[in-house]
């Protein structure tokens, strides 16, 4: 066994106890390390007292690592002879504050991860890399190096556009938010274009004036750079040049460190960031805003699978400050909390500008002849809008040229050799060198075969369509129109999404074709018509959240139409116009949709009326994955039967919808309870058994709490 054993008992963060005994000669501490063992906290010693929250360099096994001191104890929990000395105490930044430590501890417990795996990855990379501190290149460490560098040139002083006067609904909402001087969670439910941003801004300015910091979370920043500019322009007048810091995954390590330091020292007062920003220390935090709170990107999908929105509510409660969750289509979880008066609902029912919500038309495609997926109605409406010099948005949530390539004589279809999935035909431009087949699950690339690999026939045809094919077809239909496609392919290069959106905003684009990237948040001024293709694909998905997601997506994309000029229209093509999702959309009826969906969820005991955790297994074969899950289930039923009596229930292990990805086969086991504390207690007991079992059966497993996709 290595010199460092994992602590046998659960090592939480020390609650400061006045007068607690500390050995005068040796100081025993618990250090959280990014190591997937036990609770992620390991014993070390020091001859000097060490503060909680301080970062230290230690040796773990044979490696040097940076860790965070999270506890001090009278004696170590392993043989004192085996405890190593802390090598270096890093004092280039202040100790991580107590509330940050508390939140990390909460997240580790709630999401069932070792504490070190929560803490360390949430810090900017240079602060957790030993090489940044030791060796020739370190030059005093990353913080000192950064201070020596010149600060980036000051940003141009932007004058804000005309600041609108709040309408009655907006000022009512702001009044309630700013009147709150303790914890309260507000659900700002405002229809698309109702001016939620102004409510956030006014509330933020109020807390800034009171000397507080504001955390403003958004699902994505790359897509909405103009929002950052607007925010900056509005804030500098109150908070000075340095007021805004921005954090998202597109920043370099150095940029991220700089922004993190500015916020955690209290210098920058507003942090605009994506989900990772929830873990930034903010000494004067006074308000948290979560825009588009329903957005799935608040949920991290690997490593620590946390929900930044849920942690925001926790943090607000812990710091005793208000939290504002805003959306035109709140998640059913948040809506349910509001219905139960746990959250305070603030409603904006009207659009802020003098326009109504767009008119929605369902085009029944059952008996229609479609041309490349377009109904005659949609094409005609597009023509009219273009003639009137308005912009048109065509929404299809599928990138690539066609979802599969197929042989007309033998029925061969293009399949990924590594996954149970088709390869997608990609074709940007007409030259054959721009054509290839791509797997959207594992990234596999292949050239397009000249003839069928099975029968040799040369007649291979694309089946179905993606955004590239729509773009091509629209070019033929509307040769004079300037068309832009915005999807993950067209925006791969850094800055390209910004450029494309800037062109749309500048009126240099007539038709915008895009995936869900174009659906959110954008305040297009000239967009008159939105056309939605192939929404039905999401209608009958297995996941019980699929209708909720579809409805939110349709409401959001529809909400891009007619925001500044009257007469906006949305055309949704469907084979199932009678479906409740479409009927609710037709009437812009979020409330009705939510009521109906919650009733349904309640009657079958699904979230938010139940709490779930998902155990996923990955193995060489599906049989192995399934047998691990069976074994895990029987461990639960045999060893923890008390929880089964307390309403913890298991579904059967099942293969994932796409079973094999990159040669790995996957299955899942869903656990559910009507009580969150009971589920939590059960998971804490069960989870430590899973790692050893998985090792034994040569399976990789992950446990996810509150999974969004099932
Ligand atoms: N009080 C107001 N008077 C006039 N215009 C306003 C007012 N408040 C906001 N606006 C304008 O209304 C438009 C929509 O506002 P905003 O983008 O904040 O909507 P939103 O509620 O965030 O919508 P979505 O959920 O669709 O993103 C913007 O162009 C904004 O400048
Ligand atoms: Zn693949």
CB 100 within 8 A of CB 285: no
Residue nearest to atom 30 of ligand 1 (CA): 195
Distance CA 260, CA 228 (A): 17
Pairing of strands 611-619, 664-673: antiparallel
Which residues, including other chains, have CB under 8 Å from residue 470's CB and lie 6 or more apart? Answer: 372, 373, 394, 396, 485, 513, 533
Q: Could you name the CATH architecture of 27-145?
A: 3-Layer(aba) Sandwich (3.40)
ipTM exceeding the 0.95 mark: yes
Q: Is 531 in the pocket of ligand 1 (CB under 6 A)?
A: no
Atom of ligand 1 nearest to the CA of 348: 21
CA angle 168, 174, 177 (to 5 degrees): 145
- Tell whether 180 is in a known binding site: no
* Region 584-608 average pLDDT: 97
| pLDDT tens digits for range 229-283 | 888 888 887 777 889 999 998 899 999 999 999 999 999 999 999 999 999 999 9
CB 530 within 8 A of CB 570: yes
Ligand at minimal distance from the CA of 234 is 1
Atom of ligand 1 nearest to the CA of 190: 21
Q: Indicate if 359-400+466-603 has the same CATH topology as 27-145.
A: no
Arithmetic mean of pLDDT over the chain: 92
| pLDDT tens digits for range 121-142 | 999 999 999 999 987 777 778 8
Distance CA 558, CA 516 (A): 12
Ligand at minimal distance from the CA of 415 is 2
Domain ranges of the chain: 27-145, 168-348, 359-400+466-603, 404-463, 611-705
Q: What is the pLDDT of residue 519?
A: 86
CB 620 within 8 A of CB 659: no
Q: Is 167 in the pocket of ligand 1 (CB under 6 A)?
A: yes
CB 83 within 8 A of CB 28: yes
Atom of ligand 1 nearest to the CA of 520: 27
Which residues, including other chains, have CB under 8 Å from residue 277's CB and lie 6 or more apart? Answer: 215, 217, 247, 248, 271, 308
Q: What totals of helices (H) and strands (E) does the chain contain, helices first?
A: 18, 29
Q: Is 675 in the pocket of ligand 1 (CB under 6 A)?
A: no
The token duo for 75 is: 């004696």
| pLDDT tens digits for range 460-516 | 999 999 999 999 999 999 999 999 999 999 988 888 888 999 999 999 999 999 999
**In CATH, which of 3.40.50.970, 3.30.465.10, 3.10.560.10, 3.40.50.300 is domain 359-400+466-603?**
3.40.50.300
Distance CA 105, CA 318 (A): 12
> Ligand 1: distance of its center to the CA of 514 in Å?
22
| Extended beta strands in 399-552, E state | 404-407, 424-427, 435-438, 445-447, 460-463, 483-486, 511-514, 527-532
Q: Could you name the CATH architecture of 611-705?
A: 2-Layer Sandwich (3.30)
CB 237 within 8 A of CB 163: no
CB 623 within 8 A of CB 659: no
Q: Is 330 in the pocket of ligand 1 (CB under 6 A)?
A: no
Q: Is 198 in the pocket of ligand 1 (CB under 6 A)?
A: yes
Q: Is 523 in the pocket of ligand 1 (CB under 6 A)?
A: yes
Q: What is the pLDDT of residue 163?
A: 83
CATH class of 168-348: alpha beta
> Ligand 1: distance of its center to the CA of 541 in Å?
33
Place of tokens 């994505």: 220
pLDDT above 90 (res 418): yes
φ, ψ for residue 240, nearest 5 deg: 80, 170
Percent of the chain exceeding pLDDT 90 equals 80
Q: What is the pLDDT of residue 498?
A: 86
Atom of ligand 1 nearest to the CA of 556: 26
Omega within 30 of 0 (cis) for the link into 673? no
């Amino acid at each position: 066994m290595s010199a460092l054993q994992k602590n046998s008992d659960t090592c939480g963060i020390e609650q400061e106890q006045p007068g607690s005994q500390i050995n005068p000669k040796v100081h025993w501490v618990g250090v959280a390390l990014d190591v997937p063992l036990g609770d992620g906290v390991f014993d070390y010693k020091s001859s000097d007292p060490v503060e909680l929250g301080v970062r230290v360099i230690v040796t773990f096994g044979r490696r040097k690592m940076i860790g965070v001191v999270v506890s001090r104890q009278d004696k170590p929990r392993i043989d004192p002879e085996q405890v190593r000395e802390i090598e270096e105490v890093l004092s280039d930044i202040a100790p991580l504050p107590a509330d940050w430590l508390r939140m990390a501890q909460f997240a580790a417990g709630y999401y069932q991860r070792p504490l070190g795996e929560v803490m360390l990855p949430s810090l900017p990379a240079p602060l957790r890399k030993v090489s940044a501190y030791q060796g020739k290149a370190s030059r005093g460490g990353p913080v000192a190096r950064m201070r020596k560098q010149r600060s980036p040139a000051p940003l141009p002083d932007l004058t804000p556009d005309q600041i609108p006067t709040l309408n009655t609904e907006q000022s009512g909402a702001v009044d309630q938010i700013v009147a709150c001087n303790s914890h309260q969670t507000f659900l700002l439910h405002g229809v698309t274009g109702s001016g939620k941003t102004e409510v956030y801004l006014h509330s933020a300015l109020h807390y800034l004036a009171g000397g507080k910091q504001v955390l403003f979370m958004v699902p994505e920043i790359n897509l909405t750079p103009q929002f950052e500019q607007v925010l900056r322009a509005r804030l500098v007048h109150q908070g000075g040049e340095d007021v805004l810091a921005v954090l998202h995954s597109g920043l370099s390590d150095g940029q991220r460190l700089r922004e993190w330091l500015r916020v955690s020292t209290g210098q920058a007062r507003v942090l605009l960031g994506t989900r990772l920003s929830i873990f930034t220390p903010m000494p004067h935090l006074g308000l948290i805003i979560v825009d588009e709170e329903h957005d799935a990107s608040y949920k991290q999908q690997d490593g620590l699978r946390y929900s930044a929105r849920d942690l925001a509510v926790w943090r607000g409660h812990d710091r005793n400050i208000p939290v504002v969750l805003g959306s035109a289509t709140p998640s059913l979880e948040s809506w349910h909390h509001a219905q139960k008066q746990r959250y305070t609902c603030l409603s904006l029912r009207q659009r802020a500008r003098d326009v109504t919500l767009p008119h929605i038309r369902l085009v029944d495609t059952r008996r229609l002849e479609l041309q490349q997926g377009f109904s005659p109605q949609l094409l005609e409406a597009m023509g009219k809008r273009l003639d009137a010099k308005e912009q048109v948005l065509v929404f299809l949530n599928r990138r690539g040229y066609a979802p599969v390539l197929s042989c007309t004589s033998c029925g061969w279809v293009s399949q990924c050799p590594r996954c149970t999935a088709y390869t997608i035909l990609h074709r940007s431009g007409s030259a054959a060198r721009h054509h290839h087949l791509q797997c959207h699950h594992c990234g596999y690339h292949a050239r397009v075969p000249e003839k069928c690999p099975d029968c040799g026939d040369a007649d291979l045809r694309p089946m179905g369509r993606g955004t590239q094919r729509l773009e091509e077809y629209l070019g033929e239909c509307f040769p004079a129109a300037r068309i832009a496609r915005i999807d993950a392919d067209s925006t791969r290069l850094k800055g390209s999404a910004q450029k494309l959106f800037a062109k749309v905003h500048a009126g240099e684009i007539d038709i915008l074709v895009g995936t869900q990237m174009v659906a959110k948040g954008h305040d297009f001024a000239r967009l008159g018509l939105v056309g939605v293709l192939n929404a039905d694909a999401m209608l009958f998905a297995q996941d019980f959240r699929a209708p909720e997601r579809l409805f939110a997506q349709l409401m959001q994309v529809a909400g891009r139409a007619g925001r500044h000029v009257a007469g906006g229209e949305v055309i949704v093509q469907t084979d199932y116009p009678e479906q409740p999702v479409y009927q609710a959309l037709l009437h812009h009826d979020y409330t009705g949709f939510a009521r109906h969906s919650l009733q349904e969820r309640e009657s079958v005991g699904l979230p938010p009326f139940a709490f779930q955790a998902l155990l996923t297994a990955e193995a060489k074969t599906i049989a192995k994955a399934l047998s691990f899950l069976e074994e895990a289930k029987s461990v639960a039923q045999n060893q923890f039967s008390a929880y089964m009596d307390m309403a913890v229930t298991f579904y059967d292990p099942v293969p994932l919808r796409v079973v094999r990805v990159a040669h790995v086969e996957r299955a899942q086991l869903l656990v559910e309870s009507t009580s969150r504390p009971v589920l939590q207690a059960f998971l804490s007991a069960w989870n430590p058994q899973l790692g050893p079992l998985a090792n034994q059966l040569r399976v990789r497993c992950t446990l996810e709490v509150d999974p969004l996709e099932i």
